[in-house]
Structure 1
């Protein structure tokens, strides 16, 4: 069953007042429009699934996925990423949350990874900052120095050239879509991509672990 947008969008007012304050960093025009599009989904949840076909992600194929705009403010949007997993408590892995923040230099993407008890995973808070204005719909986040050091420490050398991409249409757009993508500069064959129907809200899931 789907849920009508007027109901799904009701929490928007409480979650992201978005009043202009001196504490909110200014963004490039394209990033400002991207931020507005991302924020327009606050409070909503959408179903999706794996859209890429890299054999390294075969265990993701066919799994139900839900992206939930679980927490929004003037400077942060937190999107919980829930993945159906028969081996996880309750049949869902709720360990991942994508966090997009406004900074003095642009936009920042971080990955918040937690265990069921809410404690942080050894590999968490990694991501990167935008290096250019991007577009109103697409922003790329190359891996930052903190993340490179983390990956080296954890022996994740394949991730040292990660580039994450977030794509989003405004909630009011016809056929709105949301996508999260991973590529690697040193491996042109690497592609992980999940897509969501952001025009058709569903019931929000339980909170992500630790949230």
Structure 2
């Protein structure tokens, strides 16, 4: 009886500990460790005529609040894109904030999705949400995902039911100089 009680206590402790550290929470904590740093990346999947190929790609984990992380994504001199991640109720939301050079919002902005489960510490999936479907009907089948480990951050897009796949991989082992503010931001 004592062995069973001890075993039950150990299993409960392990279960309780694992509940405190959900995949989303661990992912969030790991991403926050990159705050303030900038990294160069490269397209690893995508069409040959992709507008991002052969251009300098830089992500800057620029702003980290308790529940929001903003990551500007620069394509050469184009500073129009920011990935906005929001943590709420053990889920993570990804939005794409697109701006014009004067800082005003692009007409195609704030699209993305929210994870449907807590995911893992290294992988989060974001299926297109209703706002995205309304804004961009062809994107209803979009799924974005981000992978994160000690050496790399990848941003991915797949349009389900098509050959469309885009992946850009950033090397987290080498920081690069911090770029100036993205469009619509101030230093």
Equivalent position of 2:143 in the other structure: 163
Provide TM-score, normalisation by structure 1.
Answer: 0.75
* Paired residue secondary structure (2:97): strand
Alignment of 1:1-211 (within 5 A): 29-55=22-48, 57=50, 59-84=51-76, 92-104=77-89, 106-152=91-137, 157=138, 159-169=139-149, 173=150, 176-187=151-162, 189-211=163-185
Task: Extract unaligned runs of 5+ from structure 1.
Answer: 1-25, 85-91
* Paired residue secondary structure (1:35): helix
Give 1:105 shift.
5.5
Task: Extract unaligned runs of 5+ from structure 2.
Answer: 1-18
The superposition leaves residues 54-110 of structure 1 with CA deviations (integer Å, 9 ceiling, x where unpaired) of 2352x32111100001111000000000011xxxxxxx0000000110122511000
Larger gyration radius, structure 1 or structure 2: 2
Equivalent position of 1:23 in the other structure: none
Distance in 1, matches of 2:173 and 2:90, equals: 31
Equivalent position of 2:9 in the other structure: none
* Paired residue secondary structure (1:135): coil
Distance in 2, matches of 1:109 and 1:205, equals: 22
Aligned length: 167
Distance in 1, matches of 2:100 and 2:170, equals: 24
Distance in 2, matches of 1:27 and 1:186, equals: 37
Structure having greater relative contact order (Cα 8 Å, sep ≥ 6): 1
Are 1:110 and 1:126, in contact at CA under 8 Å, matched by a contact in 2? yes
Are 1:76 and 1:100, in contact at CA under 8 Å, matched by a contact in 2? yes
Are 2:22 and 2:90, in contact at CA under 8 Å, matched by a contact in 1? no
Runs of 4+ in 1 over 2 A off after TM superposition: 53-56
Distance in 1, matches of 2:157 and 2:62, equals: 22
